[in-house]
Amino acid sequence: MTAPLRQTEPTVVKVALDARAYDIVIGRGLVASLGERIKALRAGAKCAIVTDATVAKHHLAAAAAALKAAGVDSAAVVVPSGEASKDSATFATVCEAIIDAHIERGDLVVALGGGVIGDLAGFAAASVRRGLDFVQVPTTLLAQVDSSVGGKTGINSRHGKNLIGAFHQPILVVADTALLDTLPPREFRAGYAEVAKYGLLGDAAFFSWLEANWREVFAGAAAREHAIAVCCRAKAAIVARDERETGERALLNLGHTFGHALEAGCGFSGRLLHGEAVALGMALAFEFSARKGLIGEADAARACAHLAAVGLPTHLKEVPGGVPGLDELMDLIAQDKKVKRGKLTFILVRGIGAAFVENDVSAAEVRAFLADKLAQL
Ligand SMILES: NC(=O)c1ccc[n+]([C@@H]2O[C@H](COP(=O)([O-])OP(=O)(O)OC[C@H]3O[C@@H](n4cnc5c(N)ncnc54)[C@H](O)[C@@H]3O)[C@@H](O)[C@H]2O)c1
Ligand SMILES: [Zn+2]
């Protein structure tokens, strides 16, 4: 379904980080204004647009034309699509290409793509000439509600995901909701898991709104813009209070400990996308919280029912190709979160919209819970 072009003024969410404060601008068709917005922030700056091959096919020409129309010079750096581009070889290629394009202090890197491009281009921006300013133009739902906001950038190590990186805040995020119209439905749905996450972790009213309006969010009308704005506001507030994740920011990892273990168990392959793993992980976090008596079974069932209604997996039996065994799952969980004297840190819930950080979860209790889940398969 195609929503009308521009109906209203874009929504602006402010990320209040003093000298590093920036705006997230959200709306349909915003890429057309990219050049003017960049010129207003950094008059005379040149841009290196870093993107992936798939996004380039759909959206690079429009982004480059918007810059040109505003008199902003740009060069494109295109890398292969997919998580494999978050490696040190591609990182080096991107850094060299930015230098080749004569991007200097005062110029800009523009990350046009999903979370892979945001993390890769953001880290290149943090590194080239010891730090260039950068602008995020997120093109996946996941990137619009999560990865483009908050300044975490980086690449993967052979020892694990996101182990090499830097905190480097963008100077602007332009979330054009129309860019999501070309996103494959499965990718949109996976990103929606992170949208539901904001309701489940801290905003019960938003979760109720999503239960009633998720179809409109998928269809791409004003509801999509609203949902993205709510998520960005929530993330911006958390990041402003805890930029470096010494406390509250960890709540954004709801569902991610179980989720990462499943994602890693599937070899970070197309079998299970990140958001799909997070949906499963949130279902498990709610069920584990119910088992611990923190919430009633009805709350866990309600959380799972919504995720399932949009087509996200909530049962381990839905993992294509099967789930790793109990020992492997526990090893993967232990790798993700260091076990301290048999205790793990988990994000648990006291209700829908009431997540908290629990540092004292016994590994034995998690093991018994997962053993029961695996026995039900
Ligand atoms: N920095 C953070 O805070 C943070 C937070 C969450 C996730 N992440 C990272 O984000 C990455 C996942 O991001 P993602 O899910 O956006 O993956 P992605 O960037 O790989 O995009 C998913 C796929 O969609 C394609 N695509 C992107 N935009 C498109 C569009 N508009 N139309 C058609 N196709 C399009 C891409 O080419 C890719 O094949 C992971 O590496 C994860 O570690 C970072
Ligand atoms: Zn996530």
**So which residues are the catalytic ones?**
130, 152, 194, 235, 245, 249, 253, 256, 260, 274
Using a pLDDT cut of 70, give the percent of the chain over it. Answer: 97
Q: Compute, in angstroms, the gap from residue 356 CA to the centroid of ligand 2.
A: 17
Specify whether the CB–CB gap between 3 and 220 falls below 8 A.
yes
Q: Compute, in angstroms, the gap from residue 66 CA to the centroid of ligand 2.
A: 31
pLDDT at 3 over 70: no
Mean pLDDT of 324-344: 85
Beta carbon of 276 within 6 Å of any ligand 1 atom: no
pLDDT at 285 over 90: yes
**What pLDDT score was predicted for residue 340?**
74
- Ligand with smallest separation from the Cα of 193: 2
Side chain identity, residue 1 = M
Beta carbon of 351 within 6 Å of any ligand 1 atom: no
Beta carbon of 97 within 6 Å of any ligand 1 atom: no
pLDDT at 237 over 50: yes
Q: Compute, in angstroms, the gap from residue 169 CA to the centroid of ligand 2.
A: 18
pLDDT at 2 over 70: no
* Residue located nearest, by CA, to atom 12 of ligand 1: 115
Q: Compute, in angstroms, the gap from residue 39 CA to the centroid of ligand 2.
A: 32
**What pLDDT score was predicted for residue 7?**
52
What is the C-alpha separation between 295 and 83, in angstroms, rounded? 36
Site to probe by mutation for ligand 1, drawn from 112, 145, 147, 268 as the one with most ligand atoms within 8 Å of Cβ, is 147
Structure tokens at 103: 């991007």
**What pLDDT score was predicted for residue 334?**
86
Check residues 125 and 2 and name the one with the higher pLDDT.
125
The overall average pLDDT reported for the chain is 95
The secondary structure of residue 265, as a DSSP letter, is H
Beta carbon of 311 within 6 Å of any ligand 1 atom: no
- Ligand with smallest separation from the Cα of 118: 1
pLDDT at 262 over 90: yes
Mean pLDDT of 32-43: 97
Band (pLDDT 50/70/90 cuts) for residue 8 is low
What is the C-alpha separation between 263 and 333, in angstroms, rounded? 11
Mean pLDDT of 196-217: 98
**What pLDDT score was predicted for residue 294?**
98
pLDDT at 354 over 50: yes
**What pLDDT score was predicted for residue 6?**
47
Count CB neighbours of 261 within 10 A.
27
Beta carbon of 183 within 6 Å of any ligand 1 atom: yes
Count CB neighbours of 344 within 10 A.
21
The CB-side HSE value for 89 (13 A sphere, CA atoms) comes to 6
Site to probe by mutation for ligand 1, drawn from 112, 139, 252 as the one with most ligand atoms within 8 Å of Cβ, is 139
Which atom, in ligand 1's list, is nearest to the CA of 52? Answer: 37
Mean pLDDT of 205-227: 96
pLDDT at 148 over 80: yes
pLDDT in tens, 48-99: 999 999 999 999 999 999 999 999 999 999 999 999 999 999 999 999 999 9
Mean pLDDT of 16-20: 92
Q: Compute, in angstroms, the gap from residue 218 CA to the centroid of ligand 1.
A: 17
Nearest CA to 37 out of 64, 61, 66, 60 is that of 66
- Ligand with smallest separation from the Cα of 115: 1
Beta carbon of 143 within 6 Å of any ligand 1 atom: yes
The three-point CA angle 223-228-229 to 5° equals: 95
Distances in Å between the Cα of 307 and the Cα atoms of 205, 225, 303 are 16, 20, 7
Beta carbon of 152 within 6 Å of any ligand 1 atom: yes
**What pLDDT score was predicted for residue 370?**
97
Q: Which residues contact 265 (CB under 8 A, 6 or more apart)?
A: 323, 324, 328, 329, 332
Mean pLDDT of 156-163: 89
* Residue located nearest, by CA, to atom 6 of ligand 1: 147
pLDDT at 337 over 80: no
What is the C-alpha separation between 166 and 40, in angstroms, rounded? 27
Mean pLDDT of 275-289: 98
pLDDT at 1 over 70: no
Nearest CA to 257 out of 278, 283, 235 is that of 278
Which atom, in ligand 1's list, is nearest to the CA of 53? Answer: 37
Beta carbon of 58 within 6 Å of any ligand 1 atom: yes
- Ligand with smallest separation from the Cα of 59: 1
Beta carbon of 122 within 6 Å of any ligand 1 atom: no
Mean pLDDT of 23-45: 97
pTM: 0.96
Least confident among 174-183, 238-247, 280-289 = 238-247
Band (pLDDT 50/70/90 cuts) for residue 338 is low
Beta carbon of 151 within 6 Å of any ligand 1 atom: no
Q: What is the edge-to-edge ordering of all strands in the sheet holding 11-15?
A: 11-15, 22-27, 172-176, 133-138, 108-113, 47-52, 74-79
